[in-house]
């Protein structure tokens, strides 16, 4: 089989007409020609350098069907989410399901399951489990070490996991938002090679100077492209692109190709951009992804031109997997236990008695994972603190999904709901049930719908209720990805009709329990200070 076009040679930094000959999934010969081909440019496939597939609410095979349309041929995938629910069993499920697709999934060994001791997870991945996983050829790296205090204070288990990654000569991913100065230096020098959590150029530059590689993240909720893209001209050799968390409606719109387009629109050199999008992940994680060289795997894409960068075709191992915005991959059914053991809740469980003149409130920052702490005089009724719709201070709760327990209750600003409640069983990192609403009745209804379906995303108001069931680990659906994207779009639109002004209300909601991101979050055990790593008295 042969392909003819203008080859974009990222290594030699030149474009020339060429004929590519393929056999048995490999590139056997590249022959330069004299005749250029209009609207036919061939270049290496795109790679998402850090993503949680589970956050798309899709199985790996469904994620692949949608991603190949946008020129993505591989992902560096952290199965941390399903690991927190099902442990090693969940990681192995992701590998097994991913192997059913020609798409190239490269998984890591979750390093922090549970992420902290301040929340209830469904499983534990200990040192022995990490070694078991790292010994597998399919596991390419130790996934994000978010327990940066454990690194700095040389926690025995943390250091043992880092040592195992070094033993197996596999990279260690980082996760240290806002870490600066000597603490950042010590964290990096422990062997941690990347960070995708930088939200300022100054922070990223400091980490780059200490030898760390920086991954520019642009997901459905956390968006750091504009803050960090200015570093590319000088530091492109040690930078990559990622989505981290991508909801299905966003995946319909695009993937890493959108970041490439935006970078090119800023007049950043084509070869620097492609170095980040194609080459650097392969070299850093030692991936078996071809880079358009003889004897490489035949993984490449065809675009119309390097300016508009519209994807015409995607090939993996010489197989055409997408053409003209249409996937060529089949939808595959799947199943898995979901570890969902909560029983129905009652409205009275969400009452919170007033204690003082002020309460700590979580302030959401749209487009970021970080939050701020506010201290605000609460609205009360019959001795209980209630949502204050006029000031946009709403009740937020986290309900243990693994066994019956009293819910954690706090308050949050900037969700904007005027009616009803939204809830989710996707709540990083431990994936308990999280809900925010204007009154206890709505919150109760939303939480019970999730419990009834053993996982899902829910919106309820005085007129209707919508749910996307997530029967696989309470994180993923077994439905077609495009159908899921339509259902999610309808759910998102409903939440915005209910008053939310957030770009992605459900994605933002899922991060309100993410304790390792400052400054204030809510776990099933209580309100938590992400700077001091301790609970907050409220």
Q: Phi and psi dihedrals of 379, rounded to 5?
A: -90, 135
Q: State the pLDDT confidence band at 427, using cuts at 50, 70 and 90.
A: very high
- pLDDT at 201 (0 to 100): 96
Residues 395, 376: Cα–Cα separation, whole Å:
13
- pLDDT at 367 (0 to 100): 83
Nearest alpha-carbon partner for 232 in 256, 208, 255, 250: 208
Query: Omega of the bond prior to 82 within 30 degrees of 0, cis?
Result: no
Assess whether 64 and 145 both reside in one domain: yes
**Residue 310 lies inside a defined structural domain of this protein:** no
What total of structural domains would you count in the chain?
2
Q: State the pLDDT confidence band at 165, using cuts at 50, 70 and 90.
A: very high
Assess whether 274 and 367 both reside in one domain: no
Q: Is the pLDDT of residue 410 over 80?
A: yes
Q: State the pLDDT confidence band at 222, using cuts at 50, 70 and 90.
A: confident
- The mean pLDDT of 194-207, rounded to a whole number, is 96
SS3 content of the chain, % helix, strand, coil (to 5): 30, 30, 40
Strands (E), 89-145: 104-109, 139-145
**Domain containing residue 51:** 45-287
Nearest alpha-carbon partner for 50 in 209, 161, 215: 215
The residue with tokens 């999730």 is 450
- pLDDT at 34 (0 to 100): 86
Q: What is the CA radius of gyration of the chain?
A: 23
Assess whether 488 and 362 both reside in one domain: yes
- pLDDT at 368 (0 to 100): 86
Which tens digits make up the pLDDT trace of 68-96? 999 999 999 999 999 999 999 999 999 99
Cα 103 from chain centre? 18
Domain boundary among 268, 287, 306: 287
Q: Is the pLDDT of residue 59 over 80?
A: yes
Assess whether 357 and 247 both reside in one domain: no
Assess whether 72 and 206 both reside in one domain: yes
**Residue 36 lies inside a defined structural domain of this protein:** no
Domain boundary among 265, 287, 309: 287
Nearest alpha-carbon partner for 145 in 88, 187, 186, 183: 187
Residues 370, 359: Cα–Cα separation, whole Å:
19
Assess whether 281 and 357 both reside in one domain: no
- pLDDT at 268 (0 to 100): 97
Quote the pTM value. 0.93
Cβ-based neighbour number of residue 358 at 10 Å? 12
Structural contact between residues 314 and 71, judged by C-beta atoms closer than 8 angstroms: yes
Q: What is the CATH number of the domain that holds 178?
A: 3.20.20.140
- The stretches of 393-461 forming alpha helices (DSSP H) are 440-453
Structural contact between residues 447 and 423, judged by C-beta atoms closer than 8 angstroms: yes
Residues 511, 532: Cα–Cα separation, whole Å:
18
- pLDDT at 273 (0 to 100): 98
Residues 299, 118: Cα–Cα separation, whole Å:
43
- The mean pLDDT of 299-309, rounded to a whole number, is 96
**Residue 337 lies inside a defined structural domain of this protein:** no
Residues 277, 45: Cα–Cα separation, whole Å:
8
> For 70, which DSSP code?
G
What torsion do the CA atoms of 112, 116, 120, 126 make, to the nearest 10 degrees?
A: 40
Assess whether 277 and 352 both reside in one domain: no
Assess whether 277 and 351 both reside in one domain: no
Assess whether 363 and 221 both reside in one domain: no
Residues 309, 302: Cα–Cα separation, whole Å:
9
Q: State the pLDDT confidence band at 360, using cuts at 50, 70 and 90.
A: very high
Which tens digits make up the pLDDT trace of 480-499? 999 999 999 999 999 999 99
Assess whether 132 and 236 both reside in one domain: yes
Q: What percent of the chain has pLDDT over 90?
A: 91
Q: Is the pLDDT of residue 415 over 80?
A: yes
Q: Is the pLDDT of residue 333 over 80?
A: no
- The mean pLDDT of 400-426, rounded to a whole number, is 97
- The stretches of 232-297 forming alpha helices (DSSP H) are 232-235, 248-253, 256-265, 270-274, 280-285
Which tokens hold the place of 216? Answer: 């520019």
- pLDDT at 538 (0 to 100): 79
Residues 151, 329: Cα–Cα separation, whole Å:
42
Assess whether 283 and 355 both reside in one domain: no
- The mean pLDDT of 52-73, rounded to a whole number, is 96
Q: Where is average pLDDT lowest: 132-146, 290-304, 327-341?
A: 327-341
Cα 116 from chain centre? 18
Residues 70, 75: Cα–Cα separation, whole Å:
13
Q: Are strands 534-535 and 526-529 parallel, antiparallel or unpaired?
A: antiparallel
Nearest alpha-carbon partner for 62 in 299, 246, 277, 332: 332
**Residue 425 lies inside a defined structural domain of this protein:** yes
For 145: left if phi > 0, alpha if psi spans -120 to 50, otherwise beta; the answer is: beta
- Cβ burial, residue 383 (10 Å; 0-12/13-18/19+): exposed
**Residue 49 lies inside a defined structural domain of this protein:** yes
Query: Omega of the bond prior to 114 within 30 degrees of 0, cis?
Result: yes
- pLDDT at 517 (0 to 100): 87
**Residue 351 lies inside a defined structural domain of this protein:** yes
Question: CA 483, 47, 480 angle in degrees (round to 5)?
Answer: 10
**Residue 10 lies inside a defined structural domain of this protein:** no
Which tokens hold the place of 268? Answer: 């950043």
Domain boundary among 253, 287, 321: 287
Bridge-partner residues for 172, per DSSP? 142
Assess whether 123 and 251 both reside in one domain: yes
Helix 88-98 to helix 127-134 angle (10° resolution) is 20
Query: Omega of the bond prior to 519 within 30 degrees of 0, cis?
Result: yes
Q: State the pLDDT confidence band at 171, using cuts at 50, 70 and 90.
A: very high
DSSP string, 153-164: TT-HHHHHHHHH
**Residue 65 lies inside a defined structural domain of this protein:** yes
């Amino acid at each position: 089989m042969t392909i003819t076009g203008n080859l974009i040679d990222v290594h030699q930094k030149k474009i020339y007409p060429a004929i590519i000959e393929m056999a048995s999934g490999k590139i056997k010969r590249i022959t330069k020609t004299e005749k250029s081909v209009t609207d036919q440019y061939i270049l290496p496939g795109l790679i998402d350098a850090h993503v949680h597939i589970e956050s798309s609410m899709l199985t790996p095979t469904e994620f692949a069907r949608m991603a190949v349309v946008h020129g993505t041929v591989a992902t560096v995938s952290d199965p941390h989410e399903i690991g927190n629910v099902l442990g090693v069993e969940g990681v192995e499920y992701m590998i097994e399901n991913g192997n059913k697709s020609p798409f190239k999934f490269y998984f890591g060994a979750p390093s922090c399951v549970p992420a902290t001791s301040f929340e209830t997870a469904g499983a534990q991945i200990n040192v022995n489990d990490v070694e078991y996983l790292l010994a597998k050829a399919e596991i390419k790296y130790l996934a994000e070490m978010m327990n940066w205090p454990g690194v700095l204070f040389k926690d025995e288990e943390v250091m043992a996991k880092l040592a195992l990654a070094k033993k197996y000569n596999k990279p260690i991913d980082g996760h240290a938002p806002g870490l600066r100065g000597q603490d950042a230096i010590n964290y990096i020098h422990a062997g941690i090679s990347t960070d995708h959590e930088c939200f300022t150029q100054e922070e990223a530059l400091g980490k780059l100077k200490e030898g760390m590689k920086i991954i520019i993240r642009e997901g459905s909720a956390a968006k750091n492209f504009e803050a960090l893209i200015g570093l590319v001209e000088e530091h492109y050799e040690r930078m990559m692109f990622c989505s981290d968390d991508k909801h299905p409606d966003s995946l319909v719109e695009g993937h890493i190709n959108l970041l490439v387009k935006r970078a090119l629109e800023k007049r950043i050199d084509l070869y620097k951009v492609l170095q980040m999008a194609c080459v650097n992940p392969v070299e850093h994680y030692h991936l078996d992804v071809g880079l358009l060289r003889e004897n490489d795997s035949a993984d490449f894409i065809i675009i119309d031109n390097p300016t508009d960068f519209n994807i015409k075709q995607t090939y993996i191992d010489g197989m055409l997997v997408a053409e003209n915005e249409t996937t060529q991959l089949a939808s595959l059914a799947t199943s898995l236990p979901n570890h969902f053991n909560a029983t129905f809740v009652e409205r009275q469980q969400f009452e919170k008695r007033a204690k003082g003149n002020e309460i700590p409130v979580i302030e959401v920052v749209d487009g970021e994972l970080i939050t701020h702490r506010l201290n605000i005089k609460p609205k009360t009724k019959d001795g209980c603190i209630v949502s204050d719709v006029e000031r946009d201070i709403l009740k937020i709760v986290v309900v243990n999904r693994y066994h019956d327990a009293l819910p954690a209750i706090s308050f949050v600003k900037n969700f904007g709901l005027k009616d009803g409640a939204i809830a989710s069983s996707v709540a990083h990192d431990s994936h308990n049930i999280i809900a925010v609403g204007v009154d206890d009745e709505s919150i109760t209804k939303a939480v019970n719908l999730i419990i009834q379906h053993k996982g899902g995303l829910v919106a309820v108001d005085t007129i209707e209720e919508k749910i996307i069931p997530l029967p696989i680990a309470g994180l993923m659906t077994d439905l077609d990805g495009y159908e899921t994207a339509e259902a999610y779009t309808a759910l998102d639109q409903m939440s915005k009709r209910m008053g939310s002004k957030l770009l992605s209300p459900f994605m933002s909601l899922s991060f309100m329990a993410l304790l390792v991101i400052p400054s204030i979050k809510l776990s099933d055990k209580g309100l938590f200070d992400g700077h001091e790593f301790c609970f907050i008295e409220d």
